[in-house]
Amino acid sequence: MTETRVLPLRLPILPGEGVDSWLEALSRRNGMPLSAFLRVLGLPRHSLTRPLVTDLPTASLRMLETRTGLPAGRLDQAVIGPGFPFGPRRQRRCRFCPQCLAEREGRWLLKWWLPWVFACTAHKALLHDTCPGCGKGTRVRLPGHTHRFPPTACTIGSRLASVCGTDLSSAELLPLTSDHPLLAAQCRVDSLLATPATARTVLDDLNHCTSWLMHTIHDHNVAPMGATIQRLWQHRPLATRTPADRAKPLGSAVSGVIAHTALPFLNTDDDSFAVHAVHNLRARHDTANKVIPRGMTAEQWSQLSPPAQRRFLHAGDHTMGALDRVRFASSTPRARVPSPGDQRAGARIRHVPQLLWPSWTVRLMPREGTQENLFRGIAAALLLLPGEPDLRARGVTDRLGPHLPNAMTVTLQRALKSGHPAVLTALCNLAHYLDDHGSPIDYERRRRLIPVAPISPDDWRELCFRTGNQPGEQLSSKTTVAPRYLNAQRYLNQLLTGADLTDPRHPLTLRSVADRSRYFAFPPSLTLDQRDALHQHAVGILHDLSIKEPLTWEPPQECADGLALPGRRLDDLDLEEVRRIVITEQRAPREAARALDTTLAHVRFALERVPREPRAWSRRSSVGSWRLRQQAKAVLTADFLQREYIDGGKPLRDIARETGIPRPLAVAHARALGVTVRRTRKPFPMDPAWLREQYLTHKRSTLDIASELGTEDETVRRRLKRLNIPLRPPGVHSRTIMTKTDANLPRAVRTAVKGTLHGWLRLHRFQIAMRFPSLDSAAHYLKVEPNALVTQFQRLERDIGTPLFNRAAFGRPQQPTKQGRQLLRNLEKNRVQALMTTSLQHDQITAQPDDHTLEAAHAKFRIRRNPGPPTPFSDIAVERVRITGPTLILLRHLLTRPQEEFYGAEVIPRTGLEPGTLYPQLKRLERAGWLTSRLETTPPG
């Protein structure tokens, strides 16, 4: 192995000196031309000088350090590392400061090779680009005669006779004032070069912005820098000239002006200041819908660093089209150009529902000119647009909603025209939030796994009954109205998957405008218990599918902090006011929106949060029947029936009466449990011989025998029939006590009681019943069954031979006929009353009803049989009146004059109503109890 020899004559390298200047000084010290000296050192031969500072291999640097006795790594500070951003205009020449050359005895600084070093901060002067003698660039080629000229001489020339030889240290100094902008720019470049990693990014962006800045900077911006700088700026090489001009390097003055203009928005941490600076520059030449600044090529734009692109996009936000503003997120600090391989936008679809979340819908949707469902679908698709490399709008919307029209641009333009450009910013912020934090809900998986019909009709019916609600109408062939269970399926499917039910591909799609209106009315109609039960059902579906996710989720409202959006937060809406207007006052949601100065969507989504009180259902309703069935399941257990019915012998009728369960339901439930139900009671024990003796021998009546045995008359009669004992004729012939009659009684009374059983009882009850408005109220007072009362009165009419009263109808009480009134007058006679009292037993006589009882019965009869749910104004003493236009005009006039008497003729000119309209309105209000009237009295005298 050959040992590396150390040069006998050596020179130290000065601080800041380039390796080219040091090698030139070494060659002078050894009395050799630079090219020959490089061959001696074994370095690659170059015809140009700059490769010595940019292209020397690391091994050559280590060899030079060994042969010259320098410490290892010292020459790394004397060369420009590979990959330094020199820019498209290659800086093949070296700038210089004459005074620095003189002070350093011809030793050149390394930084003078850099294209963005244009001034000397030590001497406050602009660097020279060319030799003042020959006008050519200095140190372009290797000097061939360095040992024959002073170190500060210009060595340009191929032969000794043609070498320039001008003393560069004697060149005129180009002074700059201490506060000159270019000097300040140079200080910023020098501090930037202290951090190579940052310098590479900033200077590379500066190179790509050069051609754009050369077209953008106006002469009047350069004028304050001095006449010399302005003159040099005006002679800058422009890209619009010849290719030779485009290849020319920039002068120090031009580089300084460009650096002074660009560094404020390239080398700063203040994004707002940088964006403002770019905005001022872009505003001069940019045209509408322009993404790349005018004067910058697509290649230059693509090579800008992401921070620089972000600032350019943010500054040019107002000039771009609406879709580009969302795609590039140009209105946000995270603006960027999508790269073809970027997968973030494609992965975002997992976190986006088909319809935008309700809370964000009401905040982003313009107040007018936009259909809610269409906006929600388009807005959800727009969340896929930020960072999307696909330039086709259809290519984005088809991923989430192929059924949506091509209305993305129209939707965004409406938001912009409504004076709310922050809608675009909010959409971008939502997309960025999903990129950063994701979503706890995977909508793609839910759309794939959730069943189309999340709840069956039977489950819906059970859920409604359990929460005290009606299941709703059923779908039949005679109607096109969708049953409520279908809307429940739609509600749950949309709740779980965020589906767009206007999509015709969806099995539960809304098929008409009426269908859509009924579905929108479905969520607000749910009671609080019903809504909670539906949500619990949905949670159970997720659990069955092993999906460990919350039921619903929305991005936080902080994504729109500081933004002026069309709508306010849904939480800011007063739910009590919504409840008062829509539920209590029963006004339309659109009226509530106008009253609260908000949108219909706000009110509709707020109604879903307003709890509705369940109705009070009667026992005859389907809800009451379900509750009875549940009560039967809980009470009539197998053990209970075994103990009470089978072993105890208690009839099901008594069991039903004691438990409050209807007997048919008790029978059906007992049979469902496998219990044998008897059609009649358990046979009553009777001795047949004893019964024959009592009935045939002693001639006792069946009623006497039943009383002795403790059973009913009919039970004894059935046992006699079973024993084939002939029964005596019914009535007085079978009684030991004969019915008392009087020949002087009125004919109708005598006919009703003569030869009959319980005739006086029927007349007594008829007399009392005719004072009540209906047979039901009379039966309630007499403590008998209404059917029994009907049978008795039919027998009475049949005995007398004429109808005695007209039955009660809806709104009309029962009334006695002419014959019935005559019968009642006869019954009021004293001798008839005395005979009736003596003929009836004490427990058969019922006292005549008092006035209070009769008044209550008549008042109850006037009330509707099925009053329905309580109305908001049920506590008002007057009847309700349907308010029409004329009624409202009349009421406004009357309320201004309370407690004042008036003639109808006086109201006509005050209200403008026609007499044919006014007087019927006054009569309606009088009948309803809203006002009173009286006949005019003749004044005295």
DSSP code at position 328? T
Position 282: which residue type?
A: R
Closest to 236 measured CA to CA, from 76, 124, 322, 129: 129
Average pLDDT across the chain, whole number: 81
Tokens read off for 863: 């009330």
Tokens read off for 683: 């046979």
Higher pLDDT, 169 or 904: 169
Residue pLDDT, tens place only, 7-48: 888 888 999 998 888 988 888 888 888 888 888 888 877 778
**pLDDT at residue 941 is higher than 50:** no
CA 325 to chain centre: 24
Mean pLDDT of 342-368: 83
Residue pLDDT, tens place only, 443-482: 989 988 999 889 888 888 888 888 777 787 654 445 556 7
Closest to 344 measured CA to CA, from 437, 448, 440: 437
pLDDT at 98: 93
Question: What percent of the chain clears pLDDT 90, i.e. is strictly above it?
Answer: 9
Alpha helices in 673-774 (DSSP H): 688-692, 702-709, 713-722, 747-753, 759-769
pLDDT at 284: 67
Residue pLDDT, tens place only, 323-337: 888 888 888 888 888
Mean pLDDT of 115-122: 91
Do residues 551 and 509 touch, judged by C-beta distance below 8 A?
Answer: no
Neighbours of 199 (CB within 10 A): 20
| Record: fold of 747-862 | Arc Repressor Mutant, subunit A (1.10.10)
Residue pLDDT, tens place only, 666-719: 788 788 888 777 766 667 778 888 888 888 888 788 888 888 888 888 888 888
**pLDDT at residue 622 is higher than 80:** no
Alpha helices in 660-709 (DSSP H): 663-672, 688-692, 702-709
Cα distance between residue 534 and residue 536, in whole Å: 5
**pLDDT at residue 864 is higher than 60:** no
**pLDDT at residue 150 is higher than 50:** yes
Dihedral, CA of residue 175, residue 178, residue 183 and residue 188, to nearest 10 = 160
> What's the pLDDT band for 924 if we cut at 50, 70, 90?
confident
**pLDDT at residue 763 is higher than 80:** yes
At residue 853's C-alpha, the angle toward residues 852 and 858, to 5°, is: 100
**pLDDT at residue 88 is higher than 70:** no
Q: Residues 540, 544, 546, 552: is their CA dihedral positive or negative?
A: negative
Q: Can you tell me which residue has the tokens 């009053």?
A: 867
At residue 783's C-alpha, the angle toward residues 779 and 784, to 5°, is: 60
Most confident of 117-126, 155-164, 506-515: 117-126
**pLDDT at residue 609 is higher than 90:** no
**pLDDT at residue 627 is higher than 90:** no
Do residues 464 and 470 touch, judged by C-beta distance below 8 A?
Answer: yes
Q: Residues 352, 353, 356, 360: is their CA dihedral positive or negative?
A: negative
pLDDT at 617: 64
Tokens read off for 766: 């008829």
The bridge status of strand 174-175 relative to strand 805-806 is unpaired
**pLDDT at residue 736 is higher than 60:** no
Cα atoms in the Cβ-side hemisphere of radius 13 Å centred on 94: 30
Cα distance between residue 215 and residue 826, in whole Å: 123
Tokens read off for 224: 């304050």
- Helices 181-193 and 252-266: crossing angle in degrees, nearest 10, is 70
The string over 243-259, giving b where at least 16 C-beta atoms fall within 10 Å of a residue's C-beta and e elsewhere, is eeeeeebbbbbbbbbbb
Is pTM beyond 0.85? Reply is no
> What's the pLDDT band for 584 if we cut at 50, 70, 90?
confident
Kind and range of the H or E run holding 181 = helix 181-193
Most confident of 365-369, 590-594, 867-871: 590-594
Tokens read off for 141: 């080629």
Closest to 380 measured CA to CA, from 555, 612, 539: 555
- Long-range contacts of 224-232, Cβ-Cβ distance < 8 Å, separation of 24 or more: 224/181, 225/180, 225/181, 225/182, 225/257, 226/180, 228/126, 228/174, 228/253, 229/126, 229/182, 229/253, 229/256, 229/257
> What's the pLDDT band for 239 if we cut at 50, 70, 90?
low
pLDDT at 407: 74
**pLDDT at residue 117 is higher than 80:** yes
Neighbours of 809 (CB within 10 A): 9
Residue pLDDT, tens place only, 174-232: 899 889 999 999 999 989 888 888 888 888 888 888 888 888 888 778 888 888 888 88
Which of 637-641, 726-730, 809-813, 911-915 bottoms out in mean pLDDT, i.e. has the lowest? 726-730
Residue pLDDT, tens place only, 509-550: 888 888 888 888 888 888 888 888 899 999 999 999 999 999
CB within 8 Å of 467: residues ≥ 6 apart: 527, 529, 530, 533, 614
Cα distance between residue 712 and residue 809, in whole Å: 36
CB within 8 Å of 581: residues ≥ 6 apart: 587, 591, 592, 595, 596
Most confident of 47-61, 612-626, 784-798: 784-798
**pLDDT at residue 100 is higher than 90:** yes
Which bin fits 150, alpha (ψ -120 to 50), beta or left (φ > 0)? beta
Cα distance between residue 234 and residue 557, in whole Å: 53
Cα distance between residue 278 and residue 268, in whole Å: 12
